[in-house]
Amino acid sequence: MVPRTPGAAKPAAALPQRVAGRYIGSVSASPPPRLGPRLVGWLRRRWWAVLIVLAYVYSFPWFDKIHSANELPRAYLVMAMVDEGTFAIDTGVARWGTTADVSRARLVMRDVAEVGGRWRVAPKKHVGRHYSNKAPGSSMAAIPGYLLVKAWHGVTGGEPSLTEVMWMSRFTTGMLPSLAFLWALWGFLGRFTPSVGARRVTLLGFGVGSMFFLYSVLFISHPLSAVCVGGAWIVAVGAVDDGRWRRMALAGALAGAAPLVDYQAVFAAVPVALWVAIRLWRRPGALAAIGYAVAGAALPIAILLAYHAACFGSPWLTGYEASDTFAHFHQRGLLGMDQLRWVAFHGSMVAPDNGLVFLWPMVVLALPGWWLMLRDPAQRGHAVVSLAVAVIYILFVSALSFWRGGWQVGPRYIMAMLPFVLPPIAVAIAAAEARRWWLGGAAAGLAVVGLVTYGLTAALFPYFPDTKFENPVHEITLRLLGDGHAPWNLGWLVGLRGGASMAPYLAILVALAAGAAVTLRGAWRSAAVAAAVALALVAASAAIPGGGKPADDAYRRTIVGAMPS
């Protein structure tokens, strides 16, 4: 994922000669190194990437007592498609219970009428079978993992448990694609800055210190949608720059898959498509490139429309329109957007319990990064795309009637925006590092804060309740750590429990932070500044008032009470 940081050059006399594809010394050829030394050498070069993988797979925050409304309907749909050949999730609902994100209705087209000068579809409800109200793409992507679980039980006996299905679904639709995306991002960020330190800090803050990481270890579709639309951007940029038009089919397929996974991810594809159209204007092969992109997008979009028709009676009706629990939110305006709200903007951007800037302060580095990119003609187009996507999603979440989104850690509805702000963040960190070594360290400190707000939260309790807690990082995450509570993780496999089971994970986070900061100019001095900035910000946030006794009662009853024993 991450190349080795260049070391000191060898003396000329020590450099071997290469003849006919083999290295020879001054006397005789050396035998190839054995597997052990080769493995050790590989780990020395890739240790930082290995730690990122360990961070993703270390914890399994699954709580039987927490009826996860976002995850259960998706798991039910996986099992229904494979075991019963249907989209209806009645079996899962009957066995494990319903949630707020289950739609117990089928919508059919009744008529189309002109209301207030606008044409509207008037649906007719038939109460009947249960369906997930989520976009189905993540459940479809989890099918191969579920088949592996079934094959295992075909050999060992028994049937897959809900816990096994959930872990495999999280692994196949969250951890694996997210790790692959981080590998692609490493190369993509190299287009914007050659600084290894700036790229590594950016990758750390996003890959392990943001809500992208937290939701990647859950069976929730937002990171997968970010992978799809962010991947479409990366592939499209490479295809346009290199003139390899057939790659546009992959870019189109990824862009088309984004709404199949998460409806609102389609918004990010619009600025990318406009950038592609402008760059291709009057270039030879432009029509072929657009044709490839359209062909690639056609299949996932057709699958989504067919799913809607099969479940809700029309290609244009979604599960949200069939939802009874949150109908008064989802059926306002377009996808729940009806008017801009200050409370939604404040709650999603800066509030201590859910705000993007508070929980992920690294995002503020995008502001100077955009300014620097707009001044550079070679990067101006990418800056416009990045800025446009950010504005779209900030307006989107500010206009949502259901902006809080239930139990969540950060404004998860804008997840598709996050990959697009990474280039300006990397540019800003590189500029800070070049100006003063301690400025680079301070910028890295903002990224390290995310290892506390998201890295620790993901491993302990990745659902901040939407009531009672005013400062959940301290009232939930750090309190759980201090009280010695922890859910299942790899430490349990070797007999560790509670706080002791978190020790290896904490060591991973510290090593990742140090490994990123020391690659900046100033090395260990920059790392010390980063640690000081992060600790100061986390400590200062403790002064924010909490929820008092109601929050304390909820912590003991709901959160500690959910911990496995």
- Between helix 422-435 and helix 176-189 the angle, nearest 10°, is 50
For residue 16, pLDDT beyond 70: no
For residue 211, pLDDT beyond 70: yes
Q: What is the mean pLDDT of residues 173-198?
A: 97
| Two structure tokens written together for 412 | 């998860």
- Of the candidates 69, 215, 77, 68, the residue with the CA atom closest to the CA atom of residue 139: 77
For residue 518, pLDDT beyond 60: yes
For residue 6, pLDDT beyond 70: no
| Two structure tokens written together for 242 | 């290199």
For residue 114, pLDDT beyond 90: no
Instruction: Supply the pLDDT for residue 282.
Output: 80
The helix or strand, by DSSP H or E, that contains position 292, with its residue range, turns out to be helix 286-312
Question: Using an 8 Å Cβ cutoff, are 437 and 526 in contact?
Answer: yes
To the nearest whole number, what is the mean pLDDT of the chain?
A: 88
* Distance from C-alpha of 553 to C-alpha of 564, rounded to nearest angstrom: 19
Give start and end residues of each alpha helix (H) in 452-523: 457-460, 472, 478-483, 498-517
Q: Give all strands (DSSP E) within 384-540, no chain letters.
A: 488-489
| Residues forming beta bridges with residue 22, ordered by sequence position | 19
Q: What is the mean pLDDT of residues 99-113?
A: 55
Question: Using an 8 Å Cβ cutoff, are 441 and 522 in contact?
Answer: yes
H/E/C letters for each residue in 198-264? HHHHHHHHHHCCCHHHHHHCCCCCHHHHHHHHHHHHHHHHHHHHHCCCCHHHHHHHHHHHHHHHCHH
Instruction: Supply the pLDDT for residue 333.
Output: 58
Question: Using an 8 Å Cβ cutoff, are 352 and 471 in contact?
Answer: yes
Question: Using an 8 Å Cβ cutoff, are 487 and 461 in contact?
Answer: yes
- Of the candidates 253, 239, 254, the residue with the CA atom closest to the CA atom of residue 286: 239
Instruction: Supply the pLDDT for residue 487.
Output: 96
Q: Which of 11-25, 44-58, 531-545 has the lowest mean pLDDT?
A: 11-25
DSSP state, 5?
P
| Two structure tokens written together for 514 | 């140090």
Q: Which of 89-103, 212-226, 252-266, 473-487 has the lowest mean pLDDT?
A: 89-103
Instruction: Supply the pLDDT for residue 388.
Output: 98
329: pLDDT confidence band, cut at 50, 70 and 90? low
* Distance from C-alpha of 179 to C-alpha of 174, rounded to nearest angstrom: 9
Q: What contacts 24+ positions apart, CB below 8 Å, involve 117-124? A: 121/314, 121/316, 121/317, 123/313, 123/314, 123/317, 123/321
Q: Please give the biggest Cα pair distance in the chain.
A: 91
Rg from Cα positions in the chain: 25
| Two structure tokens written together for 391 | 């504005």
User: 132-152 burial, b for 16+ CB within 10 Å, e for fewer?
Assistant: bbbbbbbbbbbbebbeebbee
Residue 299 Cα to chain centre, angstroms: 24
Question: Using an 8 Å Cβ cutoff, are 462 and 217 in contact?
Answer: yes
Provide the percentage of residues in the chain whose pLDDT is more than 70: 87
Instruction: Supply the pLDDT for residue 243.
Output: 87
DSSP state, 113?
E
* Distance from C-alpha of 461 to C-alpha of 489, rounded to nearest angstrom: 12
Q: Are strands 131-132 and 488-489 parallel, antiparallel or unpaired?
A: unpaired
- Of the candidates 40, 37, 38, 48, the residue with the CA atom closest to the CA atom of residue 4: 48
Question: Using an 8 Å Cβ cutoff, are 179 and 56 in contact?
Answer: yes
| Residues forming beta bridges with residue 17, ordered by sequence position | 24
Q: What is the mean pLDDT of residues 129-142?
A: 92
Place of tokens 């052990």: 36
Find the length of the chain. Answer: 565
DSSP state, 414?
G
Tell me how crowded residue 342 is: count the other CB atoms within 10 A of its CB.
8
For residue 337, pLDDT beyond 90: no
- Of the candidates 319, 407, 307, the residue with the CA atom closest to the CA atom of residue 132: 319
For residue 123, pLDDT beyond 60: no
Instruction: Supply the pLDDT for residue 107.
Output: 45
- Of the candidates 230, 212, 221, the residue with the CA atom closest to the CA atom of residue 454: 212
- Sorted by where each begins, the domain ranges of the chain are 72-151, 178-220+323-562
Q: Which residues contact 15 (CB under 8 A, 6 or more apart)?
A: none
What is the distance between the terminal CA atoms of the chain, rounded to a whole angstrom? 36
Instruction: Supply the pLDDT for residue 32.
Output: 65
Q: What is the mean pLDDT of residues 57-66?
A: 93
Provide the percentage of residues in the chain whose pLDDT is more than 90: 75
Instruction: Supply the pLDDT for residue 539.
Output: 97
Instruction: Supply the pLDDT for residue 68.
Output: 86
